Amino acid sequence: IKGETLSEEERKRYLKIARRHTVRLGSLIGDLFELSKLDSASVTPQLESFSVPELVQDIAQEFQLQAEKKNITLSLKLDTNSAFTIGDIGLIQRVLENLVRNAIRFTPAGGEVTLSISERPQSVAVAVSDTGAGIPDNEISHIFDRFYRSDQGNGARSDSSGLGLAIVKKILDLHDSRITVVSKVNAGTRFEFELPRHRQAA
Ligand SMILES: Nc1ncnc2c1ncn2[C@@H]1O[C@H](COP(=O)(O)OP(=O)(O)O)[C@@H](O)[C@H]1O
Ligand SMILES: [Mg+2]
């Protein structure tokens, strides 16, 4: 990038690399910052009543283009249009974003990512499933660890810090919720968590 010594082509190539590193550092710093805020008592979930299907629809819209670009079908399976919960909507949004981003990343072209909601007597269950790479049994117990990430291909190295699922788990901990995962290598993965149901006064 230093002046005359580089050809236009080289200059472009270095700029591209620099930009990629910058983006990656940016998201690493963002994730680290988020996690340390969640660790310190400085973030207490701001609880409010909100509609889970509405949030899930927003997330689907947010990732629609990204999915299309990779020729992945992103679909919704909602068994209710009006299930309310009490939680921190901004934090639950982060949970869903991290899960959907992973699902798209680990699913090859032609695959499917599905966001689904089921209403249960005391809760609203939210699931993100994909028809992607799957996770080997011996890795499942590590995926929620900080900085853990599989080192297999799928471009996983490029934009990943290994903090996404640690953030997911931390946020759900703060909501007294747990996440479960079921996965089969080369078949797909399904993450599910429950939020308390909130029956709204009319
Ligand atoms: N939907 C998925 N399909 C397959 N593997 C997954 C999926 N989601 C997460 N993983 C595995 O869990 C690891 C940790 O995920 P995460 O904490 O989000 O970190 P990162 O996305 O930075 O790799 C991933 O590297 C991958 O091995
Ligand atoms: Mg991730």
User: Facing residues of 112 across strands?
Assistant: 73
Are 112 and 130 a contacting pair, CB within 8 Å? yes
Per-residue pLDDT of 4-28, as tens digits, reads: 788 889 999 999 999 989 988 988 9
- Report the alpha-carbon distance of residue 202 to residue 187 in Å, rounded: 44
Element (H, E) at 82: none
Q: Atom 20 in ligand 1: which residue has the minimum CA distance? A: 162
CA of 102 to the centre of ligand 1 (A): 6
Give 76 Cα–ligand 1 centroid separation in angstroms.
21
Q: Quote the CA–CA distance of 86 and 195 in Å, as a whole number.
A: 8
The pLDDT score that the predictor gives to residue 202 is: 56
Residues 195 and 49: their CA atoms lie apart, in Å, by 11
Cα–Cα distance, 12 to 167 (Å, whole number):
35
Q: Of ligand 1's atoms, which has the minimum distance to the CA of residue 159?
A: 22
Give the separation between CA 54 and CA 62, rounded to whole angstroms: 12
pLDDT value for 2: 59
Mean pLDDT, residues 127-150: 94
For 109-151, what is the HEC assignment? Answer: CCCEEEEEEEECCCEEEEEEEECCCCCCHHHHCCCCCCCCCCC
Nearest one of 88, 80, 176 to 121, comparing CA atoms? 80
Q: Residues whose CB is under 5 A from ligand 2 (ion)?
A: 102, 164
Q: Which amino acid is at 45?
A: P
| Structure tokens given for 61 | 């819209």
For 43-78, how does the pLDDT look when each residue is reduced to its tens digit (9 = 90+)?
A: 889 999 999 999 999 999 999 999 999 999 999 999
pLDDT of residue 149: 87
8 C-alpha to center of ligand 2: Å?
A: 35
Q: What is the mean pLDDT of the chain?
A: 91
| Tokens read off for 123 | 């809760």
Tell me which residue has its CA closest to atom 24 in ligand 1: 149
Structural domains present in the chain: 46-196 (3.30.565.10)
Could you read off the pLDDT of 154-165 as tens digits, one per residue?
454 556 789 999
